[in-house]
Amino acid sequence: MLDNYDFDGNVWLCHSFGGKCHDYTAFEPAIDTLREIEAFLSANPSEIVTIILEDYVKAPNGLTKVFTNAGLMKYWFPVSSMPQNGQDWPLVSDMVAKNQRLLVFTSIKSKQGSEGIAYQWSYMVENQYGDEGMKAGSCPNRAESSPLDDKTKSLVLVNYFRSVPIKQSACVQNSEDLIKMLQTCYGAAGNRWANFIAADYYKRSEGGGTFQAVDMLTGKLLCEREDVHSCVVSTDTFLH
């Protein structure tokens, strides 16, 4: 998930202040991060990357230019191939075979038509971010999103991070509390497990943390088990 702004004559990753990017909130030119993603995709030909843009870039074709300059267009998954009305996505093996391994979503609706970047809310539901999205037993949708149980949107994103990040408290948040929220949001989303998790300080936890959460979700999505490692059939099964 990236916040993108027009800044210093280019597209930058930035946290806004007053709706604008400033010297003290700018992180780095977006192309630097996008080149890292290109290097990852090049070195890992069976991997798929999803980028969700909180998009404040107003320059015409500004995003198209920066993705092109980063060498990412050769991996682009086209909007025309994205499923409508909640239909299934292509198999990972098919996406890999076609080298369509980069999915990009924007928060600006018009860019789907003008730049071929998928409009996030046509394909995805998302819960409330920040403190309001961390109340135990509750999983309301973000204002821009359809209700979580809208199954015409095939992807589910769960946010679980404080409005003001606190590194010390992330250990607790990213552990049992995160798993419980994923279970709560499963019910709120019409018995659908999340495809994406957004969390701060993802390496900090008391136990398996965000990695355990992703393993759980992958297991549920792949084979309806509690952990992705349970989906692997042991070769010993065929030796008896």
* pLDDT tens-digit series, residues 186-214: 999 999 999 999 999 999 999 899 999 99
Decide if 237 is inside a domain: no
pTM > 0.85: yes or no: yes
Residue 210 structural domain: 124-231
114 & 22 share domain: yes
Distance CA 172, CA 127 (A): 20
CB 102 within 8 A of CB 77: yes
Last residue of a domain, one of 122, 148, 179: 122
98 & 165 share domain: no
Distance CA 148, CA 189 (A): 4
How many structural domains comprise the chain? 2
98 & 213 share domain: no
Decide if 238 is inside a domain: no
11 & 117 share domain: yes
Name the DSSP class of 174.
I
97 & 31 share domain: yes
Last residue of a domain, one of 68, 103, 122: 122
Q: How many residues does the chain have?
A: 240
* pLDDT tens-digit series, residues 48-99: 999 999 999 999 999 999 999 999 999 999 999 999 999 999 999 999 999 9
